[in-house]
Amino acid sequence: MTFRGTSLSLALGIVLASSTSSFAVTEISWWHAMTGANNEVVNTLSKEFNESQSDYKVVPVFKGTYPETLNAGIAAFRAKQAPDIIQVFDAGTGVMMAAEGAIKPVADILSMGGAKFDKSLYLPGIVAYYSKPDGTMLSFPYNSSSPILYYNKDIFKKAGLDENKPPKTWPEVWDAAKKIKTSGAAKCGYTSAWLTWIHTENFAAWNNLPWGSNENGIGGVDVELKINAPIYVKHFQELADLAKDGTFRYGGRTSEAKPLFLSGECGIYNDSSGGLGDVIKSGMNYGTGPLPYDPESKDAPQNTIPGGASLWVFAGKSDEQYKGVAAFFNFLSKTEIQARLHQVSGYLPVTLAAYEETKKSGFYDKNPGRETPIQQMMGKAPTENSKGVRLVNLPQVRDIQNEEFENMLSGKQTAQQALDNAVKRGNAAIKQAIGQ
Amino acid sequence: MASSTRVTFPNKFLPYLLLAPQLAITAIFFYWPASQAIYQSVLREDPFGLSTQFVGLDNFRRVLGDPNYLNSLQVTVIFSVATALIAMALALLLAVMADKVIRGKGIYRTLLIWPYAVAPAIAGMLWLFLFNPSMGTLAYLFRSTGYNWDPLLNGDQAMVLIVSAAAWKQISYNFLFFVAGLQSIPKSLIEAAAIDGAGETKRFWTIVFPLLAPTTFFLLVVNTVYAFFDTFGIIHAVTGGGPGKATETLVYKVYNDGFVNLILGDSAAQSVILMIIVIGLTAIQFRYVERKVHYG
């Protein structure tokens, strides 16, 4: 009995001590999916923030891949153990948006921190993507990227191609790839990460074509896919034909194709600008270029849509925690932090000031090509085809496409059949997900 | 056959108390999740659990009407039969061979049992490192001989890869039981047959193999259950169910629909169906197959 009494009073003492503001450090948990160099950035940022003030402590926790992190967050929410901040990838944006009761809009939180939230400080294309149709910003754009072209300059030289001229259009890419293959400069000409994000979603925006109805889902959740229009069929049939003799090599559904490029097996590669870190690290003689476009579409190139991930805040936390989150987001928005993030990682700066700062510092003159992802996204005002792609079940719809593409690339079906199936199955999945 | 004298406990509560830990474990790890799955399978719910709606058997109707579900069933049958057969046949061969070894018996057995200690996901990764077309060492050799090895796109090759990995991991376990089974066969029987002029093959098929039947039957049950449920880690690490849906087994589909596609109702309905399948399989195995097993 005495022991129980002591421990009780001890516990009471701890509770009392921790509730007095002089001792209190509010912990902010942050679940993320960053690996390698990007993981180090997460840890450094948290450490810097924690040292810059004494009221809040951000605790980053690595939760696996992007989809795994999202699932962990959802499971934790159902168990009433949700973290404060969770990093959700582009395709998960619609999932989070559909869960209105589960999240707290970042716009609300940022204005809680005392500082007034000014949306115009942020890059418009990115902010629009993470906002509700009425303009309320829902999540904080932590790491945004856009797809670019990487090529191996040594292989270009060996194949007799101009190493300072990356192919600009898809036909130019196919020609260069064939030349690399036939000249024996490399075993494969072209490979690509993320066939869905790059070759359907960004292909549509960059060529100013509808990907789905309702402004690709930005205007409303009821979407019918349009990716079996003739121009997509032509594009994918060309890929399928190139796959037959190995001129195009398939690496996997996300960024598994990267080793094919880094090892020198393939000469040309499409991936997110966020993949730049690994390319630099490999020490290869590489060049970059904008995402290729289809010369037959008259508005191309239009603008690319944001990829990467953003930070979401769960609902049901205390005001003290939200204030901490606000302080952390304001810290992340600081010009010097954003400029540094952008320059070390290949991700886009999220504030205009950071972009201007990087420009002024002469970074882009010293590192040609590093401005490409921003110019691609900001070059033209977005049309209804190029604001972004949003579905309540985009991860599922992407997987359906991936399955059909795999059956096409293995020669089981034509591009027309693959895309028709992807549209049919995708539409059915969307209907089911929105409850129709 | 029932014995007339039964052991009875004088205390009425003691037996229940002794059983309590086991009952608690069964309740927490089986009955509770199973009842949750049944409950979830008649609901339609959004991923976050914010809105829930009772839909009766709609989820079951949709799952059973989905051609992908039938495909998944077919994939599971092929995968399980192939894995169980290969794992058991190779283990039996190795056990018979190891039984003949006189020097270094212990080392042989230890090395052959080793892979069993490897976790499924790690086993998958090991095979992936060897056979992944982008980075695999052996895949590189295959390709350099001109063979078009590409399990990322070729569904049959992907199936071969996961069956190999799953069987490789299970061989050790089967080996262990076959070795034990072989040791329990009286040497006198084999010697008598040898004196009567039966060759080695004849001795194996007419004496050793039938006497191993109880072990074989036990392993058949264990291997089928293993191929059904414990191979998730391997499939997840090696193929992720692809290419297309070529290696999406029933268990993998439950995971994919529930945790990737976030359709909880469909996923729960599938687990309930899976539960029924397994109960049925086990019942059939014990009721009909066991009768034919000769327990010596």
Buried (b) or exposed (e) across A220-231, using 16+ Cβ within 10 A?
Answer: ebebebbbbeee
Among B124, B136, B135, B134, which Cα is nearest to B164's?
B124
Q: What is the pLDDT of residue A2?
A: 40
Q: How far is A194 from chain B (nearest CA, A)?
A: 14
CA distances from A33 to A140, A148, A338, A422, B188 (A): 15, 22, 19, 28, 64
pLDDT band at B1 (very low <50, low <70, confident <90, very high): very low
Q: Is residue B177 part of a domain?
A: yes
Q: Is residue B71 part of a domain?
A: yes
Q: Is residue B215 part of a domain?
A: yes
Length of chain A: 436
**Average pLDDT for B268-280:** 91
The sign of the CA dihedral A29, A30, A36, A41 is negative
Q: Is residue B33 part of a domain?
A: no
Q: DSSP 3-state helix, strand, coil percentages of chain B (rounded to 5)?
A: 75, 0, 25
Using the beta-carbon criterion (under 8 Å), do A433 and B44 form an inter-chain contact?
no
Q: Say whether pLDDT at B3 is over 70.
A: no
**Average pLDDT for B158-186:** 91
Our CA angle for B80, B84, B86, nearest 5°, is 120
Q: What is the pLDDT of residues A6-38, one digit of tens each?
A: 444 444 444 444 444 445 789 999 999 988 778
The residue type found at A188 is C
Q: How far is A146 from chain B (nearest CA, A)?
A: 24
Q: Is residue B236 part of a domain?
A: yes
Q: Find the range with the poorest average confidence among A144-153, A426-435, B29-38, B42-51.
A: B42-51
The percent of residues in chain B predicted with pLDDT above 90, rounded, is: 38
What is the Rg, in whole angstroms, of the alpha carbon atoms belonging to chain B? 24
pLDDT band at B293 (very low <50, low <70, confident <90, very high): low
CB-side neighbour CA atoms (13 Å) of B219: 28
Q: What is the pLDDT of residue A194?
A: 92
Q: What is the pLDDT of residue B249?
A: 93
* Joined tokens for residue A62: 């690595």
Name beta bridge partners: A326: none
Distance, CA of A403 to CA of A196 (rounded, Å): 11
CATH 3.40.190.10 describes domain A2-145+307-361: yes
Q: Which residue of chain B is at minimal alpha-carbon distance from A254?
A: B240
Contact assessment for residue A350 and residue A144, using Cβ atoms and an 8 Å cutoff: yes
What is the Rg, in whole angstroms, of the alpha carbon atoms belonging to chain A? 23
- Tell me the chain B residues in contact with residue A259 when contact means C-beta distances shorter than 8 Å: 134-135
pLDDT band at B225 (very low <50, low <70, confident <90, very high): confident
Contact assessment for residue A404 and residue A365, using Cβ atoms and an 8 Å cutoff: no
The phi, psi pair for B77, rounded to 5°, reads -65, -50
Contact assessment for residue A310 and residue A69, using Cβ atoms and an 8 Å cutoff: no
Using the beta-carbon criterion (under 8 Å), do A393 and B153 form an inter-chain contact?
no
Contact assessment for residue A205 and residue A211, using Cβ atoms and an 8 Å cutoff: yes
CATH number for region A147-304+383-433 = 3.40.190.10
Report which DSSP code applies to A116.
P
Contact assessment for residue A260 and residue A190, using Cβ atoms and an 8 Å cutoff: no
Contact assessment for residue A32 and residue A61, using Cβ atoms and an 8 Å cutoff: yes
Q: Say whether pLDDT at B160 is over 90.
A: yes
Report which DSSP code applies to B286.
I
Distance, CA of B66 to CA of B60 (rounded, Å): 10
Residue with tokens 């990716």: A227
Q: Say whether pLDDT at B100 is over 90.
A: no
CATH code for the domain in which residue B231 is found: 1.10.3720.10
Q: What is the pLDDT of residue A358?
A: 92
A56-62 and A85-89 strand pairing: unpaired
A95 inside 8 A of chain B by CB: yes
Burial of A56 (0-12, 13-18, 19+ CB in 10 A): buried
Q: Is residue B191 part of a domain?
A: yes
If one counts the domains in chain B, the total is 1
Q: What is the pLDDT of residue B247?
A: 93
A434 inside 8 A of chain B by CB: no
Q: Say whether pLDDT at B2 is over 70.
A: no
Q: How far is B200 from chain A (nearest CA, A)?
A: 47
Using the beta-carbon criterion (under 8 Å), do A406 and B46 form an inter-chain contact?
no
Distance, CA of A314 to CA of A322 (rounded, Å): 10
Interface A-B: count of C-beta contacts within 8 A = 78
Question: For an interface test with A, which of B152, B157, B239, B257 has the most A Cβ atoms less than 10 Å from its Cβ?
Answer: B152
Among A195, A206, A194, A121, which Cα is nearest to A168's?
A206
Our CA angle for A163, A165, A168, nearest 5°, is 135
* Joined tokens for residue B260: 């990737």
Q: What stretches in chain A show pLDDT beneath 70?
A: 1-23, 113-115, 436
The phi, psi pair for A369, rounded to 5°, reads 95, -20
DSSP notation for A152-204: EHHHHHHTT--TT----BHHHHHHHHHHHHHHTSSSEEEEES-HHIIIIIIHH
Task: List chain A domain ranges.
Answer: 2-145+307-361, 147-304+383-433
Q: Say whether pLDDT at B88 is over 90.
A: yes
Alpha-helical (H) ranges within A276-387 are 276-282, 319-333, 335-345, 352-360, 363-366, 372-378
Contact assessment for residue B183 and residue B247, using Cβ atoms and an 8 Å cutoff: no
Q: Is residue A295 reached through a cis peptide bond, with omega within 30 degrees of 0 on the bond before it?
A: no
A307-314 and B43-45 strand pairing: unpaired
**Average pLDDT for B27-45:** 91
The residue type found at A427 is N
Show the domain range for B168: 66-292
As a whole number, the mean pLDDT across chain B is: 87
> Which residues lie closer than 8 Å to B16 by C-beta, 6 or more apart?
none
Q: What is the pLDDT of residue A164?
A: 92
Q: Say whether pLDDT at B287 is over 90.
A: no
Q: Is residue B44 part of a domain?
A: no
CA distances from A80 to A361, B48, B49, B161, B261 (A): 46, 11, 11, 40, 21
Distance, CA of B239 to CA of B131 (rounded, Å): 11
Q: What is the pLDDT of residue B4?
A: 54
Nearest to A403 among B48, B242, B262 (CB): B242
Distance, CA of B212 to CA of B186 (rounded, Å): 12
**Average pLDDT for B50-64:** 89
Q: What is the pLDDT of residue B114?
A: 84
Q: What is the pLDDT of residue A176?
A: 96
The residue type found at A267 is G
Q: Is it true that A2-145+307-361 and A147-304+383-433 share their CATH fold?
A: yes
Distance, CA of B234 to CA of B239 (rounded, Å): 8
Contact assessment for residue A157 and residue A167, using Cβ atoms and an 8 Å cutoff: no
- Given phi > 0 = left and psi -120 to 50 = alpha, else beta, which region is A217? left
Among B262, B241, B261, which Cα is nearest to B252's?
B241
Name beta bridge partners: A60: A30
Q: What is the pLDDT of residue A74?
A: 92
Q: Is residue B23 part of a domain?
A: no
**Average pLDDT for B35-49:** 89
Distance, CA of A306 to CA of B122 (rounded, Å): 35
Q: What is the pLDDT of residues A169-225, one digit of tens each?
A: 999 999 999 999 999 999 999 999 999 999 999 999 999 999 999 999 988 889 999
What is residue B233's three-state secondary structure? helix
Using the beta-carbon criterion (under 8 Å), do B154 and A410 form an inter-chain contact?
yes
What is residue A306's three-state secondary structure? coil
Q: What is the pLDDT of residues B188-217, one digit of tens each?
A: 988 898 899 888 888 899 889 999 988 898
The kind and range of the H/E element at B79 are helix B67-100
Distance, CA of B20 to CA of B35 (rounded, Å): 20
Distance, CA of A94 to CA of B36 (rounded, Å): 27
Among A196, A90, A193, A201, which Cα is nearest to A143's?
A90
- Tell me the chain B residues in contact with residue A242 when contact means C-beta distances shorter than 8 Å: none
Nearest to A396 among B49, B50, B261 (CB): B261
Q: Which residue of chain A is at minimal alpha-carbon distance from B156?
A: A410
